[in-house]
Structure 1
Amino acid sequence: MKIEGITSCYIGPAISPEQFIPEHFFIYLLRGSIVGYDGHRNSVMRPGEYCIARKNHLARYSKQPDAGEFAKVVVIFDEAFLKGFQQRHKIAAASPTIGGSFLPGEKSGRVQNFVQSLEPYYRGNGQLDEPFADLKREELLLILLQIHPDWAGILFDFGIPEKIDLEAFMNKNYKFNVSIERFAYLTGRSISSFKRDFRQIFNDTPSRWLIQKRLREAYFLISKKGKKPSDIYLDIGFEDLSHFSFAFKKLFGATPGSLLGKPS
């Protein structure tokens, strides 16, 4: 399916570039593909498919253009909008269901028709005309809840994360490049209690543990799997290659490239 002229269409507040998802959002892929990672597995989304990225979860994704083209429609369901929707439509509170960072949607002609219906309102700058933006969000959410009524327990859960097993969470999510404050929030702790509990469990500070955990994973991937440093530094939580190489040499006394027999 193709909507002429649309490369990226956003409805609602700006989407966060972080690997932490602060608000639920719907994404529909028009062209290209997306590989998403939620700390446990990689999943691939292709044209005509859609999903919900879940609030208060960690995720990252990489886009793969098709013949140089990539296009998507993103609709942000922020908390203020969802609370108003719940009041207007008298939706009862429900217990959230268990799941990962991404909720894959069932293929539906109604969702496809909705995406097609956006074209007359698209301004060509990544946004819909303001008077229609909330109306289209409302329409989409009504469609999604008809197809996936169980999503109500997730979308209308306005609680904050509860206290969870810190050790299991960190060992699963250490590769995500988010702040210590985010990790504390997602484990249901204040920053002070997070640091205290962290030291009791790992006998180290969160920052030092994260760097060393990521670097040891990098060492394994390079020395045992033959991965190139430039191919893995982002995936293990570093922002740039030079910082990764500096930290790697400081810990192991050798550059990452030297493990492959190449200068770094």
Structure 2
Amino acid sequence: MDQNTRLSAAGGPAQRVSTSIAPEQFVPDHLFLYILAGELRVYDGSQRLTLRTGDYYLVRKNRLVRYDPASAGADCEMTFFCFEEKFLQSFQAKHQTAAKKTRHSDTFVPINQQEIIPAFIRSLPHYWDASGKIADVFADVKYEELLLILLQNQPELADILFDYGLPGKISLDKFMNRNFTFNVGLPRFAFLTGRSLSAFKRDFQAIFNQTPSRWLVQKRLQEAYFLLAEKNQKPSEIYFDLGFKDLSHFSFAFKNRFGLAPSALIKKKHMK
């Protein structure tokens, strides 16, 4: 198994991966995720979950997800299947599968516990190639088998899997205030709010009276100041969750905004 494999929701063959995962992701395709060993903490902008050995979820497409790399120890392993739209359309036409209404709106959709799913996962090593992926000759068959299992077990998943629509136009204010900590590009924010990039920038300026890039930095730094000054958290505990790439970048931006380093703010607070 390749220790440098990164968890990617961009599609392609089902994979087994270890702990070297991309910590922050836009999910462009529906993703079936199964935790083989260890645990992994995840955040989707609304809720935090801890996924443990034997847990499995359907992760919705067109969502933002952050994986906490600190939670994934050396024993954390998982397998995932990315259901690309072309495959889903072909499957739906072949099996004449009708969409069912579902009450779930969560990013991580819980799947009913059935022994057939862990049994399917246990069968996969027989089909892996040397890189830990399902060999191409078996890939479509195993994808179809898993999808049949999921839909037989939980028919309402069809309403999620066979929804081919793009994100519609939504409240920019509400979305950005909920997701400002995700370190993704403006085109991605524009797509998820149902706008072209130019419309996103125009609407953003009208609502916030700032450019998106400037607002994002200031919003993250304001939240950082609050967490350091009021919640007694450490810089090392918050910089990643607030969308900063590393601690030095966070410290530089913080000092540039407030005139003192995060450590100096903490020291000043303790002297009062």
Equivalent residue letter for 2:139: A
Q: Is the 8 A contact 1:94 1:157 kept in 2?
A: no
User: Using a 3 Å threshold, how does the CA distance of structure 1 residues 237 and 10 change in structure 2: closer, same or farther?
Assistant: closer
- How far is 1:94 from its partner? 5.4
Counterpart for residue 88 of structure 1: 94
Segments of structure 1 that go 5 or more residues without pairing to the other structure are: none
Structure 2 residue corresponding to 1:110, chosen from 113, 116, 120: 116
Summarize the alignment of residues 11-160 of structure 1 with structure 2, pairs less than 5 Å apart: 13=12, 17=22, 18-62=24-68, 64-65=71-72, 68-93=74-99, 98-160=104-166
Counterpart for residue 245 of structure 1: 251
Give the SS at the match of 2:213: helix
Equivalent residue letter for 2:77: A
> What is the CA–CA distance in structure 1 between the aligned matches of 2:8 and 2:205, rounded to whole Å?
42
User: Using a 3 Å threshold, how does the CA distance of structure 1 residues 240 and 10 change in structure 2: closer, same or farther?
Assistant: closer
CA deviations on 1:176-223 (whole Å, 9 max, x unpaired) are 111111111000011111111111111111000000000111111111
Segments of structure 2 that go 5 or more residues without pairing to the other structure are: 16-20
Equivalent residue letter for 2:164: F
Counterpart for residue 18 of structure 2: none
Q: Is the 8 A contact 1:31 1:72 kept in 2?
A: yes
Give the SS at the match of 2:182: coil
Structure 2 residue corresponding to 1:184, chosen from 159, 171, 190: 190
The TM-score normalised by the length of structure 1 is 0.90
> What is the CA–CA distance in structure 2 between the aligned matches of 1:98 and 1:176, rounded to whole Å?
23
Q: Is the 8 A contact 1:29 1:71 kept in 2?
A: yes
**1:208 matched to 2:207:** no
Q: Is the 8 A contact 2:100 2:158 kept in 1?
A: yes
Equivalent residue letter for 1:61: Y
> What is the CA–CA distance in structure 2 between the aligned matches of 1:10 and 1:183, rounded to whole Å?
19
> What is the CA–CA distance in structure 1 between the aligned matches of 2:104 and 2:62, rounded to whole Å?
13
Structure 1 residue corresponding to 2:228, chosen from 222, 226, 229: 222
Q: Is the 8 A contact 1:114 1:140 kept in 2?
A: yes
- Counting aligned pairs with the same residue, the percent is 49
What is the RMSD computed on CA atoms of the aligned residues?
A: 2.4
Aligned pairs, number? 257
Equivalent residue letter for 2:12: P
Equivalent residue letter for 1:200: A
Which consecutive aligned stretches of 4+ in structure 1 deviate over 6 angstroms post-superposition?
Answer: 5-11
- How far is 1:126 from its partner? 2.2
> What is the CA–CA distance in structure 2 between the aligned matches of 1:96 and 1:239, rounded to whole Å?
37
- How far is 1:84 from its partner? 1.1
Give the SS at the match of 1:145: helix
**1:171 matched to 2:177:** yes
The TM-score normalised by the length of structure 2 is 0.87
